[in-house]
Amino acid sequence: SQRVVIIGAGIVGVNLADELVSRGWKDITVVEQGPLNMPGGSTSHAPGLVFQTNPSKTMTRLAKYTVEKLLSLKKDGQGCFNQLGGLEVATTPERLEELKRRHGYATSWGIEARLVSGEECIQMYPLLNKETVLGGLHIPTDGLALAARATQLLIERTREAGVRYLGNTPVTDIERSNGHVTGVTTPNGSVPADIVVSCAGFWGVEIGAMVGLQVPLLPLAHQYAKTTALPGLRNREVNSRINGMNATLPILRHQDQDLYYREHGDQFGIGYYGHRPMPVVAGSLGLTPEHVDEKNMPSRLDFTSRDFETAWNESEKLLPALRETHIADGFNGIFSFTPDGGPIIGRAPDLEGFYVAEAVWVTHSAGIAQAVAQILTTGRSEIDVGECDISRFEEIQLSREYVSETSQQNFVEIYDIIHPLAPKVSPRNLRISPFNVRQRELGAYFLEVGGWERPFWYEANAELLKYLPAKWQPVERDAWSAQHYSPISAAEAWKTRNAVAMYDMTAFHRFEVSGPGALHLLQRLTTSDLKKEPGSITYTLLLDDAAGIRGDIFVSRIEDEVFQIGANSATEFHYLSREARFQRQQSPSQWVQVREITGSTCSIGLWGPRARDVIAGVSTDDFSNKGLPYFGVKKVHVAGIPVLAFRKSYVGELGWELQTSAELGLRLWDAIAQAGKLHGIIAAGRAALNSLRLEKGYRIYGADMGTEHDPLEAGVVSAVDLKKKDDFVGKAGLSRRPKTPARRLRCLAINDGQSLVLGKEPVFYKGKAAGYITTAAFGFTVGRPIAYAWLPGSVSLGETVEAEYFGRHIAATVVAEPLYDPRNSRLLD
């Protein structure tokens, strides 16, 4: 067991201590700046509503575990969770539709949920106004977490198990030596440690700053008010005097007006997200006083009643009985928001032994603590927490300005109905490729991901629709799937398959691994044998010790000691960088460095049966099968511009990714566009690309597969070289994985040829929820919608399943994949 210091005794810190002692770790100290009986952080006043359903599978599973744990935590026969159920109501037709989608998420992620009519809502919650409520979503296992009580019970339990608590003890510095933490500094002296985990909630920025780590969270105040006693409830029998147990109605959400409600005995608690964002700098709040009480704590600011006026008016409309009450008490409570709304957990990329677990709701607290404890004790979390990992952010996303703007936007949108493709409102045009000016001229429809502007289609291609053969005509879409969509994508897909198109591939991550130890590093971390001649490309996997997939990457050997990696996210970059650092320390002769080159380079995917005609007009290099075979890479010149040409294709057609440095990008684009004119070249967008890649069965890491899956289940076993002699991370784990997988990622073709799904919908097999859709698209070449789905391994090819889309069941057939060109003849010719 290592010496662990946990900073913060909020619901996250104490849960982590508990999860660690339950795994046999012994030397644990929790250091808390406030008094332990009420530390004064967000947990001290959290109303504790736990709505488990979330579009994210990870977040839902973390919430589910939290509920289970809180239910099990008891003292004097009384627990820490009042399982009243959760009711989300709709007062608009749009919300009613959204609730159907949320019902789908719940079903996909294994949470029991029921769509209920307006009348049923009233039966369940008689105080609701029957004139306004159109329907609802009921989750019987949701409820109220008694967060402060749970924290105290966990402190008691872990103390008995030997955890040491230092209350009223602020951490003022983190001690380090040789890139490793060694302890924390407090006014009472140092506390030595091998591992420090910051569970400091919205003080995370200040703790991070002690070690030069930018923690991308923004503390924001959020209004919470309590009414006076409701006359109708005054004599109601309440089943406990413990705050939170004295409630009988489901917890209630009225997202159309950014409101939520719970009971406090005969009073009502009202939470509101509709007010202006109110950012706070935690460091400006001063020291936590020695004595904290419910009214005086650093995380609680004065109530600004004017910001609550709309909330009150809307609450009276929804719950008319509240007209007989008024606000007895209110406050602006502080907690953390982040650029993408997710928690921030995991290892600091550049400091060994330093971890964070911040921006975590009570709802996910025990789940996050379990995940972090598993990472610390076994190296991996059972629940895939990649989307919560601090290393998912790129440098630009860590800037104070970016964090502030995007986190405030997340506050504003917290209950909004957000389309899965919807871009951020702001900042836009943060990262643009060198082709952006031309893309605008062509009428690109841009969507944003990770700050990158990515064209989805080009209005300039609209006239191609006139010539589109009947077989390629897209189907009519429903209002939801028609958002951020244009039939022009069908024409772009058609041109790619039948002529040639250019795609902007700049936003994909690229980094360079170089040095005498480069091969050794990549041999050790990937599933393939990379001892190949320079000029080869390999599609390979990064596994964890248990053979869960932690990434899929393209490795191109450019020179003996220079490799280029094509990856999905910043996480892979941080992983490789850290492993390279270890290798440099452990064997200096195997020196290796990892360098980010995404922004300094750019890339055009030139693909289609006429790609060779285009390139011949603009380059004298040999692009024949012999000169540059499939999965080969070489240096060439295109219109006099030095280019790295990668013979690979994300759409399944002949062609290359042509990469050059950023400043030459525009010239490269123009040269190819000019040379392509004769051959009918077009610029094509991500919507077409997504359809074409799905027809080829190419997976998207994170959406189609993750650390919860092994290569066999995910259908990527061809990326594992079973004969590879060198040991690699995950090799032993692979041999422990079942040879007949219990679940598999399968390709579905929608039977009626037109009903679309978008991803995350539940899939039913023999009438039972059995899996979920990962990614989906209309397959323009195959002329029908297609989807990938996780299904039980026993489901066979040719069997029928049903996906639920807005409450409607859509029949689909499990089909052999890939649907397009299974022999790769289009790629190899």
Is position 604 an interface residue for ligand FAD (rule: CB under 6 A)? Answer: no
DSSP structure class, residue 55: S
Q: Is 8 in the site for ligand FAD (CB under 6 A)?
A: yes
The nearest distance, CB 46 to ligand FAD, in angstroms, is 3
| Shortest Cβ 204–ligand FAD spacing (Å) | 8
Q: Which helix (H) or strand (E) holds 658?
A: strand 655-661
How many angstroms separate the CA atoms of 521 and 248, rounded? 58
Query: Distance of alpha carbon 38 from its chain centroid, rounded?
Result: 32
* Contact pick of 5, 20, 28, 33 for ligand FAD (by CB under 6 A): 33
List, as own/partner pairs, every contact residues 308-313 make where C-beta atoms lie below 8 angstroms and the sequence separation is at least 24, other chains included.
308/223, 308/225, 308/272, 308/275, 310/257, 310/274, 310/275, 311/223, 311/225, 311/257, 311/258, 311/259, 311/270, 311/272, 311/274, 311/275, 312/270
Q: Report the nearest approach of ligand FAD to the CB of residue 50 (Å).
A: 6
Residue 165 or 203 with smaller CB distance to ligand FAD: 203
> Least Å distance between CB 45 and ligand FAD?
6
Residues 11, 301: Cα–Cα separation, whole Å: 20
Strands 251-254 and 354-358, sheet pairing: unpaired
Catalytic status, residue 809: no
Residue 208 CB: number of other CB atoms within 10 A? 24
Nearer to ligand FAD, 303 or 646 (CB): 303
> Of these, 3, 4, 5, 10, which contacts ligand FAD (CB under 6 A)?
10
E-strand ranges in 43-125 read 49-50, 81-82, 86-90, 114-117
Q: Choose the stretch contacting ligand FAD; rule: CB under 6 A; options: 193-201, 479-487, 579-587, 622-630.
A: 193-201
3-state class (DSSP) for residue 50: strand
Number of residues that bind ligand FAD (CB under 6 A): 41
Residue closer to ligand FAD, measured from CB, 11 or 791? 11
440 burial class (0-12, 13-18, 19+ CB within 10 angstroms)?
Answer: middle
Cβ atoms of residues 599 and 662 within 8 Å: yes
- Looking up tokens 């995380």, which residue turns up? 299
Annotated catalytic residue within 384, 552, 704, 710 = 552
Q: Which residues share a beta bridge with 457?
A: 445
39 binds ligand FAD (CB under 6 A): yes
Q: Residue 66 or 528: which CB sits closer to ligand FAD? A: 66
Tokens 């579009």, residue?
Answer: 55
**747: which residues sit within 8 A by CB, 6+ positions away?**
697, 786, 787, 788, 814, 815, 816, 817, 818, 819
How far the first Cα of the chain sits from its last, in Å, is 58
Angle (CA) 389-392-393 rounded to 5° is 125
How many other C-beta atoms can be found within 10 angstroms of the C-beta atom of residue 283? 11
Min separation Cβ 223 and ligand FAD, Å: 7
Q: Is 362 in the site for ligand FAD (CB under 6 A)?
A: yes
Around Cβ 303, how many Cβ atoms within 10 Å?
18
Nearer to ligand FAD, 215 or 519 (CB): 215
Set 138, 222, 254, 509: catalytic member = 222
Nearer to ligand FAD, 220 or 748 (CB): 220
Q: Is residue 41 close enough to count as binding ligand FAD by CB under 6 A?
A: yes
Q: Which stretch binds ligand FAD (CB under 6 A): 11-19, 154-162, 427-435, 453-461?
A: 11-19
State the burial class of residue 307 (Cβ atoms within 10 Å of its Cβ: 0-12, 13-18, 19+).
middle
Could you tell me the smallest distance in angstroms from the CB atom of residue 47 to ligand FAD?
Answer: 5
Applying the rule CB under 6 A, the residues between 257 and 286 that interact with ligand FAD are 271
| Given 6, 46, 513, 546, the residue binding ligand FAD (CB under 6 A) | 46
Instruction: Give the range of 33-41, 153-161, 233-241, 697-705 binding ligand FAD by CB under 6 A.
Output: 33-41
- Smallest gap from Cβ 808 to ligand FAD, in A, equals 32
Question: How many angstroms from the chain centroid is the CA of residue 19?
Answer: 24
Rounded to a whole number of angstroms, the minimum distance from the CB of residue 135 to ligand FAD is 23
* Near ligand FAD in 102-121, by CB under 6 A: none
Answer for which of 4, 16, 17, 40 binds ligand FAD (CB under 6 A) is 40
Nearest to 613 by CA among 680, 697, 661, 522: 680
Please, are residues 13 and 202 in contact by the beta-carbon 8 Å criterion?
no
Let me know: does 228 contact 388? Beta carbons within 8 Å.
no
The answer to the question of residue 47 lying near ligand FAD (CB under 6 A) is yes
Tell whether residue 49 is a contact of ligand FAD (CB under 6 A).
yes
Output 332 or 755, the one with its CB closest to ligand FAD.
332
- Answer yes or no whether residue 371 interacts with ligand FAD by CB under 6 A: no
Query: Does residue 469 have a cis bond before it (omega within 30 degrees)?
Result: no
* Of 158, 288, 601, 690, the one binding ligand FAD by CB under 6 A: 288
Chain residues 321-350 in contact with ligand FAD, contact rule CB under 6 A: 333-335
Q: Two tokens at 236?
A: 């109601």
How far apart are CB 359 and ligand FAD at their closest, in Å?
Answer: 7
Q: Rounded distance, CA 598 to CA 575, Å?
A: 16
- Concerning whether 260 is annotated as a catalytic residue, the answer is yes
Contact between 605 and ligand FAD by CB under 6 A: the answer reads: no
| Residue labelled with tokens 């040269």 | 671
How far apart are the C-alpha atoms of 408 and 337, rounded to whole Å? Answer: 7
Where does this chain touch ligand FAD (CB under 6 A) — which range of 359-367, 596-604, 668-676, 716-724? 359-367
Selected from 48, 455, 706, 818, the binder of ligand FAD by CB under 6 A is 48
Shortest reach from residue 187's CB to ligand FAD, in Å: 10
**Which range of residues in 113-121, 194-202, 564-572, 667-675 is near ligand FAD by CB under 6 A?**
194-202
Name the nearest CA neighbour of 605 among 525, 527, 670, 689: 689
Q: Tell which residue, 568, 593, 585, 563, has the closest CA to residue 650.
A: 568
Using rule CB under 6 A, residue 747 touches ligand FAD: no
Residue 45 annotated in active site: no
When the beta carbons of 273 and 820 are compared against ligand FAD, the nearer one is 273
- For the segment 151-180, give every residue that binds ligand FAD (CB under 6 A): 170-171
Nearer to ligand FAD, 90 or 334 (CB): 334
CB 217 within 8 A of CB 361: no
Q: Which residues 199-218 are close enough to bind ligand FAD by CB under 6 A?
A: 199-201, 203, 207
In single-letter form, the type of residue at position 797 comes to L
Provide the minimum distance between the beta carbon of 334 and ligand FAD in the complex, in angstroms, as a whole number.
Answer: 6
Q: What is the dihedral of CA 33, 35, 41, 44, to 10 degrees?
A: 170
Q: Which is nearer to ligand FAD, 43 or 659 (CB)?
A: 43
The token pair that represents 194 in the structure block: 């091998």
Distance, CA of 279 to CA of 302 (rounded, Å)? 14
- 304 or 590: whose CB is closer to ligand FAD? 304
Q: How far is the CB of 750 from ligand FAD (least distance, A)?
A: 37
Nearer to ligand FAD, 171 or 505 (CB): 171
Q: Which of 560, 672, 531, 568 is nearest to 612 (CA)?
A: 672
Candidates 165, 260, 355, 503; catalytic one: 260
Chain positions 216 to 255 lying near ligand FAD, rule: CB under 6 A, are 222, 224
CA Rg, the chain, in Å? 28
Identified binder of ligand FAD from the candidate list 29, 43, 141, 601, rule CB under 6 A: 43
Residue that has been written with the tokens 């769509």 in this structure = 115
Near ligand FAD in 636-665, by CB under 6 A = none
List of residues contacting ligand FAD (CB under 6 A): 7-13, 31-34, 39-43, 46-50, 170-171, 199-201, 203, 207, 222, 224, 271, 288, 299, 333-335, 358, 360-363
Q: Which positions are annotated as active-site residues?
A: 222, 260, 552
